[in-house]
Chains A and B, each alone.
Chain A
Amino acid sequence: MSESPVRLLLVDDEASLREPLADYLSRQGFVVQQAADAAKARSALLEDMPDLVLLDIMMPGEDGISLCRHLVESRNLPVIFLTAKGESTDRIVGLEIGADDYVVKPFEPRELVARIRSVLRRTAKGAVAGPAAASEAHYEFDGWQLDPLKRRLVDPEGTVVPISSAEFRLLVALLDHPQQVMDRDRLLDMVQGREAHLFDRAVDNQVSRLRRKIEVDSRDPKLIQTVWGGGYILAAEVKRFTPEVN
């Protein structure tokens, strides 16, 4: 992606935010096209396909969620939501319909850039093969369940165990490769998220945090075992299943 500049479509009805943001992103080396509402966004898409869409949720007329559904389903475009709401329900709705990430207004412009790059990196790595379909299926291991969409980890007694996003990505990396030795570099590579700058010095730290939450005795781990000189291995068997929608 270093050869040709990344093209972004920025959809937001607020010109006061859209224009300075477009300027800022242009200065960061992106080619930015603007649209004030969903209709204009749709017609802009006909002329030129962007690499990624930045989408406001609350807009007059067709809202961002509806447009996002269209973008993800028929165009397979990566989407980052710009939202004024921070409620967890909005977050889940956004992610359920296939948005790749979201930022809450007012966001730090640098963080937005970091996320744009992170999303593009993920989608460029061949994750195009329907990440949505795979990510909806729940994981089950040793009586535990993980809903990857809601990032909700439930212990064998049905108690929700809150985990951070770094812990979540670490756990998913381990769950995707059960009973395989995962060395630190590989784990780091797989779990790099927006906290990448924090994470790379602390795979061990994240593992020990995760152990504190899911091991019966974190000093004698049974689920996530240390391989001397190698890395970590998830000792449990992992099943995937799609929960029934009620």
Chain B
Amino acid sequence: MNRRFLPKSMHGQMLLSVALALLAAQLLSGILLYRAEQRRIESTLISQLAFQLVRDPQIDLRGENPRSGRRAERRRLRLERVLESPQLRGDMRDPEREAALREVLQEQGVEVAQLVVLSRPFSRDRYLMRRMREAPDLYRETFDSDGMVVLAGLKRANADRWMVARAPLRSRSVRAFRGVIFQTLILYAVLVGGLALLLRRISRPLAALTARVERFGGIADTGEPMKLSGPEDTRRLIAAHNAMEARIANLLDEKNVMLGAIGHDLKTPLAALRVRIESVEDDTERAKMARTIEDITDTLDDILSLARVGRSSDPLERTDISALVASVVEEYEDMGEDVALGETVRVALPVRATWLRRAIRNLIGNALRYGSQARIGLRRDETHAIIRIADTGPGIPEGEIAAMLEPFTRGESSRNRETGGAGLGLTLARAIAEQHGGSLALANRIGADGSIAGLVAEIRLPL
């Protein structure tokens, strides 16, 4: 069975199952109705035949009352009286009807010697054809000239002739079905339509909630709590969600306040320390101390930024990415570092420039730390702007690339204090790329001789 055509939503599945259940119920009642109708037709047929046979077998009304003869003739079908059984070759006897008719006749006190019930097409019944020519109106009313006729031949005990009664065999009535179909349609309109409305009432707030939860992901600041709507269950769910959202927002706020306080409380003593080391006479010693303080500050900034990146309140601004990349590269040029800006294209994207600048800085800083040289480029493909930072360092063993993006991981070859940094740089760069809906990818650059010639970091930002 092909599942693609089955509805996936709650809405669709419920509607489909209700529609199927309704269809089954209506089919069942249709069948029951049909069978009741069949029985009714059958018993009418039997009574018709019995009535004709029982009523007055001996007297021909026509002969007795010549004046009203025509009217009488109009009112009833005349019995045929024959010497032989009415069964012709090719006629099928109908034992069920025979039994039913026999029962009715015996109840009426008729002594049955022989009884045959059979059906044949109207056109094959010579008696009827003859009578039809005599009184076409009467017969045309009663019989369908394309239909079937049921004949009942009765030979009473001690009678010498057969009496043959005739009744039309009614084609199966579709009238009853028309009723069922009409009823089904109304039920469908009322039930399925009503249900659709009701389900919409449930599923609309659910869809809104889903969208909200998806949006909530990183940025908690969705403003107003969600409006309660839908039936009670849905309202309770929304209320619970709102409460949870508020709790998360509170936690994040607390975290931000706490981090701000940590930042302030650590930076002031660091600043004091930085001032105090100016009294150190030894220049190299002082420079080392200054470098250490700088490292602590950088790490602290990375930690604070990483904690804040998901909840940045900075607005997105359409920014010339090539100018942004160039300005970061220029900072490093001015510091006398070996950086070079290669090919760039003009791309303008809505970004948080302060953050993106930080991500690029981290990647260039990383490249310079491990590779002493950074080559920066900006290109674009159909879907992304790609900022590429390549170095000439030792690269990363293939298996460790994913781990490098996790917090506090640094390459094996560099696990010493001299290289500085707590390994948050790449994590932060990735978090910033993701904050912009993009990604950060690291890959080894393979040189001409097949060995690793350096590392390439690429920030991909969706256009």
**B-binding residues in A (CB < 8 A):** 14, 16-17, 20-21, 24, 58, 82, 84-89, 105-110, 155, 157-164, 167, 195, 198, 209, 212-213
Contacts and interface: CB of A to CB of B under 8 A. Distances in A.
Contacts of B323: 161-163, 212-213
A133 B73 CA distance: 121
B326 interface: yes
Given A24-B278, A107-B274, A108-B274, A164 B330 contact: yes
Contact of B270 (A58, A85, A105, A164): A105
B318 A105 contact: no
A51 B357 CA distance: 36
29 contacts: A14-B272, A16-B268, A17-B268, A17-B275, A20-B275, A20-B276, A21-B275, A24-B275, A58-B264, A82-B271, A84-B264, A84-B268, A85-B260, A89-B314, A106-B297, A108-B290, A109-B278, A155-B320, A157-B348, A159-B318, A159-B319, A159-B320, A160-B317, A163-B327, A167-B327, A198-B334, A212-B323, A213-B323, A213-B327
Contacts of B278: 24, 109-110
B293 A106 contact: yes
Chain B residues touching A, majority SS: helix
B61 interface: no
B289 to A, nearest CB: 12
Most chain-B CB neighbours within 10 Å: which of A17, A20, A106, A108? A106
A158 B317 CA distance: 9
Contacts of A213: 320, 323, 326-327
Contacts of A162: 319-320, 323-324, 327, 353, 357
Contacts of B268: 14, 16-17, 84, 105
Interface band, chain B: 35 or more
A213 B328 CA distance: 13
A105 B334 contact: no
A109 B271 CA distance: 9
A158 B273 contact: no
Contacts of A86: 301
B375 to A, nearest CB: 17
A213 B321 CA distance: 10
Nearest to B296: A106
A173 to B, nearest CB: 18
Query: Which of B268, B293, B314, B353: most chain A CB closer than 10 A?
Result: B268
Contacts of B241: none
Contacts of A107: 271, 274
Given A84-B264, A162-B319, A16 B272 contact: yes
Contacts of A212: 323, 326
A106 B318 CA distance: 32
A106 B326 contact: no
- The winner among B297, B324, B330 for most chain A CB atoms within 10 A is B330
Contacts of B264: 58, 84-85
B221 interface: no
A-B interface, 4 closest residue pairs, ranked by CB to CB distance from nearest:
A106-B271, A105-B271, A17-B272, A106-B270
Interface string B216-247: 00000000000000000000000000000000
Contacts of B275: 17, 20-21, 24, 109
Q: Which of A82, A85, A105 has the most CB of B within 10 A?
A: A105
A195 B335 CA distance: 11
Contacts of B314: 88-89
Contacts of B451: none
B258 to A, nearest CB: 15
B267 interface: yes
Given A155-B320, A164-B331, 4 more contacts: A17-B271, A87-B354, A160-B317, A162-B327
Contact of A88 (B276, B320, B354): B354
Contacts of A161: 319-320, 323
Contacts of A155: 320
